Structure 1
Amino acid sequence: MTSATNLDTDLTPFPDHTQLPESDGKFVKNWQEHPQSILLTDSIQPVLKQIHPDGQYCIGQDLGIYWRLTDPPEKGAEAPDWFYVGNVPPLLDGQTRRSYVFWREHIAPLIVLEFVSGDGSEERNKTPWQGKFWIYEQVIRPPFYGIYEVKKASVEVYEFIGGQYESLAANERGHYPIHPLGVELGIWEGEYQNAQLPWLRWWDAEGNLLLTGEERAEQERQRAEQERQRAEQEHQRNERLIAQLRALGVEPEI
Protein backbone atom coordinates (compact mmCIF):
# COMPACT_ATOMS: atom_id res chain seq x y z
CA MET A 1 0.00 0.00 0.00
CA THR A 2 1.34 3.43 -0.92
CA SER A 3 0.95 6.42 1.38
CA ALA A 4 -0.92 9.48 0.19
CA THR A 5 1.62 12.26 -0.28
CA ASN A 6 0.66 14.12 -3.43
CA LEU A 7 -2.70 15.86 -3.34
CA ASP A 8 -2.97 16.07 -7.13
CA THR A 9 -2.24 12.42 -7.88
CA ASP A 10 -2.29 10.12 -4.89
CA LEU A 11 -5.66 11.36 -3.63
CA THR A 12 -7.36 11.25 -7.01
CA PRO A 13 -9.27 7.98 -6.29
CA PHE A 14 -10.64 9.42 -3.05
CA PRO A 15 -13.98 11.28 -3.36
CA ASP A 16 -14.16 15.05 -2.99
CA HIS A 17 -16.95 17.28 -1.67
CA THR A 18 -18.94 16.98 -4.90
CA GLN A 19 -19.05 13.17 -4.66
CA LEU A 20 -19.98 12.86 -0.99
CA PRO A 21 -23.47 13.31 0.56
CA GLU A 22 -24.03 16.83 1.87
CA SER A 23 -26.59 15.64 4.43
CA ASP A 24 -27.37 12.55 6.48
CA GLY A 25 -31.06 13.18 5.94
CA LYS A 26 -31.84 14.11 9.54
CA PHE A 27 -33.91 17.05 10.69
CA VAL A 28 -32.28 19.91 12.57
CA LYS A 29 -32.72 18.97 16.22
CA ASN A 30 -34.23 22.24 17.42
CA TRP A 31 -35.38 25.54 15.97
CA GLN A 32 -32.70 27.53 17.83
CA GLU A 33 -29.70 25.94 16.06
CA HIS A 34 -29.91 28.00 12.88
CA PRO A 35 -30.42 31.40 14.58
CA GLN A 36 -27.56 30.56 16.95
CA SER A 37 -25.23 29.72 14.08
CA ILE A 38 -26.19 32.88 12.19
CA LEU A 39 -25.56 34.96 15.31
CA LEU A 40 -22.05 33.54 15.72
CA THR A 41 -21.20 33.94 12.04
CA ASP A 42 -22.61 37.44 11.58
CA SER A 43 -20.86 38.92 14.60
CA ILE A 44 -17.40 37.43 13.98
CA GLN A 45 -17.18 38.21 10.25
CA PRO A 46 -15.44 41.61 10.75
CA VAL A 47 -12.75 39.89 12.87
CA LEU A 48 -12.17 37.16 10.30
CA LYS A 49 -11.97 39.67 7.47
CA GLN A 50 -9.20 41.48 9.35
CA ILE A 51 -7.34 38.21 9.93
CA HIS A 52 -7.89 37.06 6.33
CA PRO A 53 -7.88 40.13 4.06
CA ASP A 54 -7.55 37.70 1.14
CA GLY A 55 -10.85 36.07 2.13
CA GLN A 56 -9.26 32.65 2.54
CA TYR A 57 -11.38 31.09 5.26
CA CYS A 58 -14.65 29.24 5.60
CA ILE A 59 -17.33 28.78 8.22
CA GLY A 60 -19.37 25.60 8.45
CA GLN A 61 -22.90 25.50 9.85
CA ASP A 62 -24.19 21.92 10.08
CA LEU A 63 -21.64 21.11 7.37
CA GLY A 64 -20.13 17.61 7.36
CA ILE A 65 -16.43 17.15 8.07
CA TYR A 66 -15.45 13.92 6.32
CA TRP A 67 -12.62 12.22 8.21
CA ARG A 68 -12.72 8.61 6.91
CA LEU A 69 -14.20 6.54 4.09
CA THR A 70 -17.17 4.41 5.14
CA ASP A 71 -20.18 2.68 3.65
CA PRO A 72 -22.48 4.58 3.60
CA PRO A 73 -20.18 7.61 3.23
CA GLU A 74 -22.06 9.88 5.66
CA LYS A 75 -21.11 7.60 8.57
CA GLY A 76 -17.54 8.82 8.06
CA ALA A 77 -18.47 12.44 8.76
CA GLU A 78 -19.13 14.63 11.77
CA ALA A 79 -21.33 17.68 11.25
CA PRO A 80 -20.57 20.29 13.93
CA ASP A 81 -23.25 22.89 14.48
CA TRP A 82 -20.60 25.57 13.83
CA PHE A 83 -16.91 25.59 12.90
CA TYR A 84 -14.28 27.87 11.44
CA VAL A 85 -11.29 26.94 9.25
CA GLY A 86 -8.66 29.48 8.32
CA ASN A 87 -6.42 29.60 5.25
CA VAL A 88 -8.69 27.59 2.98
CA PRO A 89 -10.74 28.92 0.04
CA PRO A 90 -14.44 29.56 0.70
CA LEU A 91 -15.26 28.03 -2.70
CA LEU A 92 -13.77 25.00 -4.44
CA ASP A 93 -13.42 25.30 -8.21
CA GLY A 94 -16.02 28.05 -8.08
CA GLN A 95 -18.53 25.84 -6.29
CA THR A 96 -20.06 26.28 -2.84
CA ARG A 97 -18.74 23.69 -0.44
CA ARG A 98 -21.06 20.74 0.12
CA SER A 99 -18.84 19.42 2.88
CA TYR A 100 -15.33 19.74 4.30
CA VAL A 101 -13.20 16.78 3.20
CA PHE A 102 -10.43 16.44 5.75
CA TRP A 103 -8.31 13.98 3.77
CA ARG A 104 -8.06 16.44 0.90
CA GLU A 105 -7.36 19.68 2.76
CA HIS A 106 -5.52 18.49 5.88
CA ILE A 107 -6.22 21.73 7.76
CA ALA A 108 -8.24 21.20 10.93
CA PRO A 109 -10.85 23.74 12.00
CA LEU A 110 -9.51 26.13 14.62
CA ILE A 111 -12.72 25.81 16.63
CA VAL A 112 -15.67 23.42 16.56
CA LEU A 113 -18.92 24.14 18.44
CA GLU A 114 -21.71 21.71 19.26
CA PHE A 115 -25.14 22.84 20.47
CA VAL A 116 -26.63 20.32 22.90
CA SER A 117 -30.21 19.25 22.24
CA GLY A 118 -30.39 16.22 24.53
CA ASP A 119 -28.50 15.52 27.74
CA GLY A 120 -25.05 16.30 26.31
CA SER A 121 -23.86 12.69 26.30
CA GLU A 122 -23.54 12.67 22.50
CA GLU A 123 -21.23 15.69 22.52
CA ARG A 124 -19.11 14.20 25.35
CA ASN A 125 -18.98 10.67 23.99
CA LYS A 126 -15.40 9.32 24.07
CA THR A 127 -16.12 5.91 22.51
CA PRO A 128 -13.24 5.16 20.06
CA TRP A 129 -14.19 5.65 16.40
CA GLN A 130 -17.78 6.57 17.29
CA GLY A 131 -18.03 9.29 19.92
CA LYS A 132 -17.98 12.96 18.91
CA PHE A 133 -15.52 13.92 21.63
CA TRP A 134 -13.16 11.07 20.67
CA ILE A 135 -13.30 11.90 16.95
CA TYR A 136 -12.59 15.58 17.53
CA GLU A 137 -9.81 14.86 20.02
CA GLN A 138 -8.10 11.93 18.32
CA VAL A 139 -8.71 12.49 14.59
CA ILE A 140 -9.82 15.97 13.51
CA ARG A 141 -8.11 17.75 16.44
CA PRO A 142 -9.42 21.31 16.30
CA PRO A 143 -7.45 23.37 18.85
CA PHE A 144 -10.72 24.40 20.54
CA TYR A 145 -13.92 22.42 21.10
CA GLY A 146 -16.99 24.02 22.69
CA ILE A 147 -20.15 22.39 24.03
CA TYR A 148 -23.05 24.84 24.43
CA GLU A 149 -26.19 24.01 26.42
CA VAL A 150 -28.94 26.58 26.08
CA LYS A 151 -31.07 24.84 28.72
CA LYS A 152 -28.30 25.28 31.28
CA ALA A 153 -27.20 28.69 29.97
CA SER A 154 -23.65 27.34 29.83
CA VAL A 155 -20.75 26.57 27.56
CA GLU A 156 -17.71 24.46 28.30
CA VAL A 157 -14.61 24.89 26.17
CA TYR A 158 -11.73 22.47 25.69
CA GLU A 159 -8.27 23.30 24.35
CA PHE A 160 -6.07 20.72 22.63
CA ILE A 161 -2.91 20.52 24.73
CA GLY A 162 -0.32 17.75 24.77
CA GLY A 163 -2.30 15.40 22.56
CA GLN A 164 -5.61 15.68 24.39
CA TYR A 165 -8.37 18.10 25.33
CA GLU A 166 -7.98 20.03 28.57
CA SER A 167 -10.89 21.94 30.06
CA LEU A 168 -10.33 25.67 29.55
CA ALA A 169 -10.92 27.94 32.54
CA ALA A 170 -13.15 30.98 32.17
CA ASN A 171 -11.63 34.42 32.73
CA GLU A 172 -12.83 37.06 35.19
CA ARG A 173 -15.71 37.94 32.83
CA GLY A 174 -16.86 34.33 32.66
CA HIS A 175 -15.64 34.10 29.04
CA TYR A 176 -13.29 31.67 27.35
CA PRO A 177 -10.40 33.28 25.44
CA ILE A 178 -9.82 31.98 21.91
CA HIS A 179 -6.40 33.59 21.63
CA PRO A 180 -5.64 32.87 17.93
CA LEU A 181 -8.70 34.94 17.01
CA GLY A 182 -8.27 37.56 19.71
CA VAL A 183 -11.83 36.95 20.91
CA GLU A 184 -13.68 35.47 23.86
CA LEU A 185 -16.62 33.07 23.86
CA GLY A 186 -19.39 33.17 26.45
CA ILE A 187 -23.08 33.37 27.29
CA TRP A 188 -25.12 36.51 26.60
CA GLU A 189 -28.64 36.90 28.01
CA GLY A 190 -30.70 38.89 25.55
CA GLU A 191 -33.16 38.94 22.67
CA TYR A 192 -32.18 37.78 19.21
CA GLN A 193 -34.61 36.98 16.39
CA ASN A 194 -37.58 37.51 18.70
CA ALA A 195 -36.35 35.08 21.36
CA GLN A 196 -35.07 35.97 24.84
CA LEU A 197 -32.47 33.27 25.54
CA PRO A 198 -28.97 32.70 26.88
CA TRP A 199 -27.21 32.90 23.50
CA LEU A 200 -23.64 31.87 22.73
CA ARG A 201 -21.69 34.96 21.63
CA TRP A 202 -18.29 36.52 20.99
CA TRP A 203 -16.53 39.39 22.75
CA ASP A 204 -13.24 41.07 21.90
CA ALA A 205 -10.19 40.73 24.16
CA GLU A 206 -11.26 43.85 26.11
CA GLY A 207 -14.67 42.39 26.86
CA ASN A 208 -16.68 44.37 24.29
CA LEU A 209 -19.54 42.42 22.74
CA LEU A 210 -19.09 41.74 19.01
CA LEU A 211 -22.22 43.07 17.37
CA THR A 212 -24.23 41.68 14.50
CA GLY A 213 -24.75 43.77 11.38
CA GLU A 214 -28.24 44.67 12.57
CA GLU A 215 -26.94 45.68 15.99
CA ARG A 216 -24.21 47.80 14.44
CA ALA A 217 -26.79 49.53 12.24
CA GLU A 218 -29.02 50.19 15.26
CA GLN A 219 -26.05 51.52 17.21
CA GLU A 220 -25.23 53.88 14.35
CA ARG A 221 -28.88 54.97 14.14
CA GLN A 222 -28.90 55.77 17.85
CA ARG A 223 -25.62 57.68 17.51
CA ALA A 224 -27.04 59.72 14.62
CA GLU A 225 -30.21 60.41 16.61
CA GLN A 226 -28.18 61.58 19.62
CA GLU A 227 -26.17 63.87 17.36
CA ARG A 228 -29.40 65.25 15.85
CA GLN A 229 -30.80 65.91 19.31
CA ARG A 230 -27.55 67.57 20.41
CA ALA A 231 -27.60 69.84 17.35
CA GLU A 232 -31.27 70.70 17.98
CA GLN A 233 -30.56 71.55 21.62
CA GLU A 234 -27.65 73.76 20.55
CA HIS A 235 -29.89 75.51 18.02
CA GLN A 236 -32.58 76.14 20.66
CA ARG A 237 -29.97 77.46 23.10
CA ASN A 238 -28.71 79.91 20.45
CA GLU A 239 -32.26 81.02 19.68
CA ARG A 240 -32.91 81.75 23.36
CA LEU A 241 -29.65 83.72 23.62
CA ILE A 242 -30.55 85.81 20.56
CA ALA A 243 -33.99 86.54 22.02
CA GLN A 244 -32.43 87.64 25.33
CA LEU A 245 -29.99 89.99 23.57
CA ARG A 246 -32.77 91.58 21.50
CA ALA A 247 -34.78 92.09 24.68
CA LEU A 248 -31.84 94.12 25.94
CA GLY A 249 -31.79 96.18 22.78
CA VAL A 250 -28.76 94.42 21.31
CA GLU A 251 -28.96 93.16 17.79
CA PRO A 252 -26.64 90.12 17.60
CA GLU A 253 -24.48 89.50 14.54
CA ILE A 254 -25.67 86.34 12.87
Structure 2
Amino acid sequence: MIATTDKFQVTWEKLPDDFVLPNDPVDNINQPLLAAALTQSLEIAGRLPNTALITTNYGICATVNGKMVIKAPDWGYVANIRVSREEVKRSYTPQLQGDIPVIVIEFLSDTEGGEYSVKPTYPPGKWLFYEQVLKVPNYAIFEPDTGTLEVYRLDDGKYQLQQPDNNNRYAIAQMNLFLGTWQGERENRTGYWLRWWDEQGNLLLWGLEKAEQERQRAEQERQRAERLAAQLRSAGIEPEA
Protein backbone atom coordinates (compact mmCIF):
# COMPACT_ATOMS: atom_id res chain seq x y z
CA MET A 1 0.00 0.00 0.00
CA ILE A 2 1.61 3.29 -1.16
CA ALA A 3 0.85 6.96 -0.54
CA THR A 4 2.79 9.59 -2.46
CA THR A 5 3.21 13.22 -1.36
CA ASP A 6 5.31 16.05 -2.78
CA LYS A 7 8.23 15.00 -0.54
CA PHE A 8 7.78 11.36 0.38
CA GLN A 9 6.69 8.05 -1.00
CA VAL A 10 5.19 6.18 1.93
CA THR A 11 4.80 2.41 1.83
CA TRP A 12 2.93 0.56 4.54
CA GLU A 13 4.93 -2.59 5.08
CA LYS A 14 5.16 -5.04 7.95
CA LEU A 15 8.32 -4.89 10.02
CA PRO A 16 10.61 -7.76 8.95
CA ASP A 17 10.90 -10.49 11.57
CA ASP A 18 14.68 -10.11 11.67
CA PHE A 19 14.60 -6.31 12.04
CA VAL A 20 16.52 -5.31 15.17
CA LEU A 21 14.45 -2.81 17.14
CA PRO A 22 16.24 -0.10 19.13
CA ASN A 23 16.32 -0.79 22.84
CA ASP A 24 16.80 2.71 24.18
CA PRO A 25 15.71 3.31 27.78
CA VAL A 26 13.00 5.86 28.52
CA ASP A 27 14.21 9.33 29.41
CA ASN A 28 13.15 9.22 33.06
CA ILE A 29 11.21 7.18 35.60
CA ASN A 30 8.09 9.36 35.33
CA GLN A 31 7.26 8.44 31.74
CA PRO A 32 5.98 4.89 32.43
CA LEU A 33 3.84 6.21 35.31
CA LEU A 34 2.31 8.93 33.14
CA ALA A 35 1.57 6.50 30.32
CA ALA A 36 0.04 3.87 32.63
CA ALA A 37 -2.21 6.48 34.23
CA LEU A 38 -3.61 7.53 30.85
CA THR A 39 -4.38 3.93 29.93
CA GLN A 40 -5.84 2.79 33.26
CA SER A 41 -8.58 5.41 33.40
CA LEU A 42 -9.70 4.54 29.86
CA GLU A 43 -9.84 0.86 30.76
CA ILE A 44 -11.81 1.39 33.98
CA ALA A 45 -14.29 3.64 32.18
CA GLY A 46 -14.90 1.02 29.49
CA ARG A 47 -13.31 3.23 26.85
CA LEU A 48 -10.94 0.58 25.47
CA PRO A 49 -12.79 -1.63 22.97
CA ASN A 50 -11.29 -4.96 21.99
CA THR A 51 -10.18 -3.54 18.67
CA ALA A 52 -8.25 -0.65 20.23
CA LEU A 53 -4.48 -0.59 20.61
CA ILE A 54 -2.54 1.43 23.17
CA THR A 55 1.10 2.10 22.32
CA THR A 56 3.69 2.98 24.96
CA ASN A 57 7.27 3.30 23.74
CA TYR A 58 6.26 0.84 21.05
CA GLY A 59 7.26 1.04 17.41
CA ILE A 60 4.91 2.52 14.82
CA CYS A 61 6.26 1.84 11.34
CA ALA A 62 6.21 3.23 7.84
CA THR A 63 8.57 2.86 4.91
CA VAL A 64 9.57 6.30 3.65
CA ASN A 65 11.32 6.58 0.29
CA GLY A 66 12.24 2.91 0.52
CA LYS A 67 13.64 3.02 4.07
CA MET A 68 11.91 1.65 7.17
CA VAL A 69 11.15 4.32 9.77
CA ILE A 70 10.09 3.48 13.30
CA LYS A 71 8.99 5.96 15.94
CA ALA A 72 7.89 5.00 19.44
CA PRO A 73 5.71 7.73 20.95
CA ASP A 74 5.49 7.81 24.72
CA TRP A 75 1.75 7.09 24.42
CA GLY A 76 -0.61 6.55 21.52
CA TYR A 77 -4.14 5.37 20.84
CA VAL A 78 -5.30 3.41 17.80
CA ALA A 79 -9.08 3.00 17.65
CA ASN A 80 -9.17 -0.07 15.44
CA ILE A 81 -6.71 -2.77 14.45
CA ARG A 82 -7.69 -5.32 11.81
CA VAL A 83 -5.29 -8.11 12.69
CA SER A 84 -4.73 -10.34 15.70
CA ARG A 85 -2.76 -8.92 18.61
CA GLU A 86 -0.15 -11.59 18.01
CA GLU A 87 0.60 -9.94 14.66
CA VAL A 88 1.32 -6.57 16.29
CA LYS A 89 3.37 -7.92 19.19
CA ARG A 90 6.63 -6.31 18.02
CA SER A 91 5.39 -3.27 16.11
CA TYR A 92 2.41 -1.73 14.35
CA THR A 93 2.06 -0.61 10.73
CA PRO A 94 -0.92 1.72 10.16
CA GLN A 95 -3.07 1.23 7.04
CA LEU A 96 -1.70 -2.30 6.65
CA GLN A 97 -2.73 -3.58 10.10
CA GLY A 98 -5.33 -1.03 11.16
CA ASP A 99 -6.13 2.64 11.53
CA ILE A 100 -3.82 5.62 11.82
CA PRO A 101 -3.38 6.50 15.52
CA VAL A 102 -6.00 8.96 16.76
CA ILE A 103 -3.48 10.67 19.01
CA VAL A 104 0.18 10.39 19.92
CA ILE A 105 1.61 11.97 23.05
CA GLU A 106 5.20 12.80 23.83
CA PHE A 107 6.38 13.62 27.34
CA LEU A 108 9.01 16.33 26.96
CA SER A 109 12.41 14.69 27.17
CA ASP A 110 15.89 15.79 28.01
CA THR A 111 16.76 15.85 24.30
CA GLU A 112 16.31 19.46 23.32
CA GLY A 113 13.68 19.89 20.62
CA GLY A 114 13.27 16.22 19.72
CA GLU A 115 9.50 16.36 19.95
CA TYR A 116 9.44 19.33 17.54
CA SER A 117 11.88 17.97 14.98
CA VAL A 118 10.90 18.43 11.33
CA LYS A 119 14.14 16.98 9.97
CA PRO A 120 13.25 15.73 6.47
CA THR A 121 16.30 13.55 5.87
CA TYR A 122 16.48 9.96 7.03
CA PRO A 123 15.48 9.24 9.71
CA PRO A 124 12.84 11.98 9.75
CA GLY A 125 12.10 13.92 12.92
CA LYS A 126 9.19 13.03 15.19
CA TRP A 127 7.04 16.04 14.31
CA LEU A 128 7.49 15.50 10.59
CA PHE A 129 6.83 11.76 10.87
CA TYR A 130 3.58 12.22 12.80
CA GLU A 131 2.39 15.15 10.69
CA GLN A 132 3.40 14.31 7.12
CA VAL A 133 3.98 10.56 7.06
CA LEU A 134 1.49 9.05 9.51
CA LYS A 135 -0.81 12.11 9.45
CA VAL A 136 -1.94 11.58 13.03
CA PRO A 137 -4.88 13.95 13.63
CA ASN A 138 -3.88 14.89 17.21
CA TYR A 139 -0.37 15.41 18.59
CA ALA A 140 0.17 16.36 22.25
CA ILE A 141 3.41 17.41 23.93
CA PHE A 142 3.42 17.41 27.73
CA GLU A 143 6.00 18.85 30.12
CA PRO A 144 5.49 16.91 33.39
CA ASP A 145 7.60 19.23 35.54
CA THR A 146 5.61 22.37 34.75
CA GLY A 147 2.28 20.88 33.67
CA THR A 148 2.49 22.61 30.28
CA LEU A 149 0.39 20.84 27.67
CA GLU A 150 0.38 21.67 23.96
CA VAL A 151 -2.16 20.00 21.70
CA TYR A 152 -1.84 20.24 17.93
CA ARG A 153 -4.55 19.27 15.46
CA LEU A 154 -3.92 18.34 11.86
CA ASP A 155 -5.53 20.98 9.67
CA ASP A 156 -5.00 20.99 5.90
CA GLY A 157 -1.92 18.82 6.29
CA LYS A 158 -0.26 20.93 8.98
CA TYR A 159 -0.35 20.85 12.76
CA GLN A 160 -2.07 23.86 14.29
CA LEU A 161 -1.76 24.70 17.98
CA GLN A 162 -5.13 24.39 19.68
CA GLN A 163 -6.50 26.64 22.41
CA PRO A 164 -8.02 24.97 25.48
CA ASP A 165 -11.68 25.37 26.41
CA ASN A 166 -12.92 27.25 29.48
CA ASN A 167 -11.94 24.27 31.65
CA ASN A 168 -8.40 24.31 30.22
CA ARG A 169 -9.01 21.03 28.38
CA TYR A 170 -8.69 19.95 24.77
CA ALA A 171 -11.33 18.04 22.83
CA ILE A 172 -10.12 14.82 21.21
CA ALA A 173 -13.15 14.44 18.98
CA GLN A 174 -12.32 10.96 17.68
CA MET A 175 -12.43 9.61 21.26
CA ASN A 176 -15.36 11.71 22.50
CA LEU A 177 -13.11 12.78 25.34
CA PHE A 178 -11.22 15.79 26.63
CA LEU A 179 -7.55 15.81 27.57
CA GLY A 180 -6.17 18.06 30.27
CA THR A 181 -3.78 18.36 33.18
CA TRP A 182 -4.37 17.49 36.82
CA GLN A 183 -2.17 18.05 39.84
CA GLY A 184 -1.94 15.52 42.64
CA GLU A 185 -0.43 12.26 43.83
CA ARG A 186 -0.37 8.79 42.34
CA GLU A 187 2.05 5.91 42.94
CA ASN A 188 4.30 8.01 45.20
CA ARG A 189 4.65 10.72 42.57
CA THR A 190 3.27 14.17 43.34
CA GLY A 191 3.02 16.51 40.40
CA TYR A 192 1.24 17.09 37.12
CA TRP A 193 -0.56 14.32 35.23
CA LEU A 194 -2.51 14.03 32.00
CA ARG A 195 -6.13 13.04 32.58
CA TRP A 196 -9.29 12.34 30.57
CA TRP A 197 -12.74 13.88 31.02
CA ASP A 198 -15.93 12.75 29.30
CA GLU A 199 -18.33 14.97 27.35
CA GLN A 200 -20.30 15.72 30.53
CA GLY A 201 -17.18 16.96 32.29
CA ASN A 202 -16.74 13.88 34.48
CA LEU A 203 -13.19 12.90 35.31
CA LEU A 204 -12.28 9.35 34.25
CA LEU A 205 -11.08 7.78 37.48
CA TRP A 206 -8.05 5.70 38.30
CA GLY A 207 -8.41 2.39 40.14
CA LEU A 208 -7.79 3.71 43.65
CA GLU A 209 -10.12 6.66 43.02
CA LYS A 210 -12.84 4.29 41.81
CA ALA A 211 -12.40 2.11 44.90
CA GLU A 212 -12.61 5.15 47.17
CA GLN A 213 -15.73 6.32 45.35
CA GLU A 214 -17.34 2.91 45.92
CA ARG A 215 -16.30 2.97 49.60
CA GLN A 216 -17.89 6.37 50.10
CA ARG A 217 -21.04 5.23 48.32
CA ALA A 218 -21.28 2.17 50.59
CA GLU A 219 -20.72 4.32 53.67
CA GLN A 220 -23.44 6.74 52.60
CA GLU A 221 -25.81 3.82 52.05
CA ARG A 222 -24.98 2.43 55.51
CA GLN A 223 -25.65 5.80 57.12
CA ARG A 224 -28.91 6.13 55.21
CA ALA A 225 -30.03 2.71 56.43
CA GLU A 226 -29.15 3.61 60.01
CA ARG A 227 -31.16 6.84 59.83
CA LEU A 228 -34.13 4.97 58.41
CA ALA A 229 -33.90 2.36 61.16
CA ALA A 230 -33.81 5.11 63.81
CA GLN A 231 -36.90 6.75 62.31
CA LEU A 232 -38.75 3.45 62.36
CA ARG A 233 -37.82 2.79 65.98
CA SER A 234 -39.01 6.27 66.98
CA ALA A 235 -42.35 5.34 65.43
CA GLY A 236 -42.45 2.11 67.47
CA ILE A 237 -41.51 -0.16 64.58
CA GLU A 238 -38.63 -2.57 64.76
CA PRO A 239 -36.76 -2.45 61.44
CA GLU A 240 -36.13 -6.21 61.50
CA ALA A 241 -39.89 -6.79 61.53
TM-score normalised by length of structure 2? 0.83
Pair 35,71 (structure 1): closer, same or farther in 2 beyond 3 Å: farther
Answering whether residue 151 of structure 2 is matched by residue 152 of structure 1, we say: no
2:7 aligned partner: none
Residues 119, 15 of structure 1: alpha-carbon distance in 2 compared, 3 angstrom cutoff: closer
Choose from 174, 177, 181 the match for 2:171. 177
Task: Answer yes or no: is the 8 Å Cα contact 2:171–2:177 preserved in 1.
Answer: yes
SS at match of 1:198: strand
Superposed CA deviations along residues 64-123 of structure 1, whole A, max 9, x for unmatched, are 1112279996xx21100111112214734x456211124733631010000112265111
Q: Work out the number of aligned pairs and report it.
A: 229
Question: Match of 1:30?
Answer: 28
State the 4+ residue runs in structure 1 displaced beyond 4 angstroms: 69-73
- Larger deviation, residues 82-91 vs 201-210: 82-91
Unmatched runs of 5 consecutive residues or more in structure 1: 6-10, 246-250
| C-alpha separation in 2, matches of 1:115 and 1:17 | 29
Asked if 1:16 is matched to 2:8, the reply is no
Give the match for residue 248 of structure 1.
Answer: none
1:1-254 matches, cutoff 5 A? 15-16=14-15, 18-21=17-20, 23-45=21-43, 46-49=45-48, 52=49, 55-68=50-63, 76-89=69-82, 91-92=84-85, 94-95=86-87, 97-102=89-94, 104-105=96-97, 107-118=99-110, 121-129=113-121, 130-242=124-236
Q: Tell me which of the two structures has the higher relative contact order, counting C-alpha pairs closer than 8 angstroms and 6 or more residues apart.
A: 2
In 2 relative to 1, CA 17–32 (structure 1 residues): closer, same or farther, beyond 3 Å? farther
Equivalent-residue separation in structure 2 for 1:40 and 1:17 (angstroms): 30
Distance across 1 between alignment mates of 2:116 and 2:219: 48
Larger radius of gyration: 1
In structure 2, relative to structure 1, the CA distance for the partners of 1:120 and 1:155 (3 Å cut) is: farther
Please state how far the C-alpha of 1:132 moved relative to its aligned partner.
1.0
RMSD over aligned CA atoms reads 2.9
5+ residue gaps, structure 2:
4-10
Bigger helix share: 1
Q: Which has the higher strand share?
A: 2
